[in-house]
Amino acid sequence: MAEPENPKIKICPNCGAEVPRKTKQCPNCGQLLSTPRSKWMKNLTPTEIFLLILGSIMLAIGLVAV
């Protein structure tokens, strides 16, 4: 499947129609289109995950202490 040259347009996997990037359903065939999800969470190392959890806990303690 070829990607469109315009970054604001994507291709419907069902009928091949060009649809705007933020469209949730193809106006041509009605196929629900997946929305791209951020992949930053998948690329975290165990250390970064630990630091995120630790930072969240410290933030929660700081908010309760105020």
Residue 4: inside a domain, yes or no? no
* Two structure tokens written together for 21: 């990037």
Residue 1: inside a domain, yes or no? no
Rounded to an integer, what distance in angstroms lies between the CA atom of residue 35 and that of residue 60?
A: 32
Residue 19: inside a domain, yes or no? yes
Residue 2: inside a domain, yes or no? no
Residue 3: inside a domain, yes or no? no
* Two structure tokens written together for 33: 């289109």
Residue range of the domain that includes 21: 9-65
Structure pTM? 0.43
Give the model confidence (pLDDT) of 14-64 as tens digits: 898 999 988 888 999 988 887 666 677 778 899 999 999 999 999 999 999
Q: How many domains does the chain have?
A: 1
